[in-house]
Amino acid sequence: MNPNNPAVDREQAFWKIVLHRLELAASDPPLSRREAAELLAQLPPRRGAETVGDRIRRATAEARLPQRRDNVIYVNFRPLIAIQRLAADSGEEAPLPDPGRPLESADGRFRLSIAAVAGELRLTLEALGFAADDFAHRRLGVAAASACPASAMEQIVPLGSDAVIAQFTLNADGDGVCTLPDTPENRRVLLQPVIGLIEDDG
């Protein structure tokens, strides 16, 4: 507001409202049923109980995936949750989390502990609570968040086997351990890891 001239402010506010209402009135009508049907035909076929919203998101996720290369072995990776880590200003390029403070997923289903031992990274994945029963004896993996867009969560993403840096078969308690080389690439993936289910083709 302009305290020196409230009358001018008032008039300007009036014209601002007028312009907004003119913008509303000038907006185009919705698509006709025929136009909507044309757009619907651009979506991938429906899977099971998918909504049209799910299909739109899947179309985008599939379009973003890198093209398959012939000489790479792919795994069907179903991303479940990304773990957000707070950046620690330790001066290292890709620091590991404090060994005494395992990472926990925001949904409380997983805990991931990382320890550097003699040139290797030892990863322990624990499924917690009900998730322990859900994922017991299942194969899970850890991949980079950059390989799994947020819109691809819970959907199968074919990833090159090198993109899934760790694979675990959880035991009856929902726990699994995996060891991998302590390389800058693996450490970078662990800055924002995504935990996912590895599903068989069949």
Among 4, 28, 68, 91, the residue binding other proteins under the rule CB under 8 A is 28
Among 3, 4, 45, 51, the residue binding other proteins under the rule CB under 8 A is 51
What would the 3-class secondary structure string for 11-48 be? HHHHHHHHHHHHHHHHCCCCCCHHHHHHHHCCCCCCCC
Q: Which stretch in 42-50, 65-73, 109-117, 186-194 sits in contact with other proteins by CB under 8 A?
A: 42-50
Nearer to other proteins, 45 or 91 (CB): 45
Among 43, 81, 115, 136, the residue binding other proteins under the rule CB under 8 A is 43
| Interface with other proteins, residue 27, by CB under 8 A | yes
Among 124, 151, 161, 183, the residue binding other proteins under the rule CB under 8 A is 151
Compute the distance between CA of residue 134 and CA of residue 163 in angstroms, rounded to an integer.
25
Residues in the chain: 202
Compute the distance between CA of residue 164 and CA of residue 167 in angstroms, rounded to an integer.
7
Compute the distance between CA of residue 110 and CA of residue 80 in angstroms, rounded to an integer.
10
Binding site for other proteins (CB under 8 A): 10-33, 35-43, 46, 51-53, 55-57, 59-60, 150-151
